């Protein structure tokens, strides 16, 4: 999961708390994790509906990115959960192996538990990536500001 989607676009309309952004596609879109997951069809989609926490207005040039909460959940699902599953599987295999007299059981059970948990974790990660997890992270320019007075709204 990419930490951000390095692309900009222009807000063309507002829909409640969402904004429809026409993307500029500067070539980086094809390398994005969202494109790989099928969220925006590999950069072929010209318009994205994204969350609008920065209150961008129609005509604003904006930078979009992944929601921070989604980034953290993705990190936990991709890295922390499988690692913990491996450790718990090894501990359970050690206990069962010492009881049954099979020392190799800890390694085998560790990998089996990690593979089983990773399967469900990655399925959840794919569902997380398919949700509306893109938002406006910065308003780069405002068309209503006179020329020569460039400003970045935070």
Asked if residue 1 belongs to a domain, the reply is: no
* 11 and 61 housed in the same domain: yes
Distance from the Cα of residue 91 to its chain's centroid: 32
Give the global pTM. 0.60
Average pLDDT over residues 45-71: 85
**Could you tell me which residue, 21 or 39, shows the higher pLDDT?**
21
Confidence (pLDDT) at 31: 57
Q: Residue 18: in which H helix or E strand, if any? A: strand 18-23
Give yes or no for residue 132 having a pLDDT over 90.
no
* 55 and 91 housed in the same domain: no
Asked if residue 147 belongs to a domain, the reply is: no
For residue 146, give the DSSP letter. P
Task: For residues 92 and 98, give the distance between their C-alpha atoms in angstroms, rounded to a whole number.
Answer: 10
Task: For residues 47 and 62, give the distance between their C-alpha atoms in angstroms, rounded to a whole number.
Answer: 13
Confidence (pLDDT) at 70: 83
What phi and psi, each to the nearest 5 degrees, are found at residue 137?
-100, -20
Domain limits for position 40: 7-67+133-141
Instruction: Pick the range with the lowest mean pLDDT from 41-50, 98-107, 112-121.
Output: 41-50
Task: Compute CA distances 49 → 52, 77, 141, 152, whole Å.
Answer: 9, 25, 19, 22
In the predicted model, what is the mean pLDDT of the chain? 79
Give yes or no for residue 149 having a pLDDT over 60.
no
């Amino acid at each position: 999961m990419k930490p951000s989607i390095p692309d900009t676009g222009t807000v063309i309309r507002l829909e409640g708390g969402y904004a429809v952004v026409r993307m500029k596609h500067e070539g980086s879109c094809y390398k994005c994790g969202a494109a790989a997951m099928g969220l925006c069809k590999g950069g072929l989609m010209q318009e994205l509906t994204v969350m609008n926490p920065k209150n961008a207005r129609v005509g604003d040039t904006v930078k979009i990115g992944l929601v921070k909460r989604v980034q953290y959940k993705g990190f936990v699902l991709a890295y922390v959960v499988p690692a913990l599953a491996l450790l718990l599987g090894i501990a359970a295999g050690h206990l069962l192996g010492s009881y049954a007299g099979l020392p190799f059981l800890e390694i085998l059970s560790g990998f089996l538990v990690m593979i089983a948990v990773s399967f469900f974790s990655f399925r959840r990660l794919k569902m997380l990536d398919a949700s509306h997890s893109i938002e406006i992270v910065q308003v780069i320019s405002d068309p209503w500001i006179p020329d020569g007075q460039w400003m970045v709204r935070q």
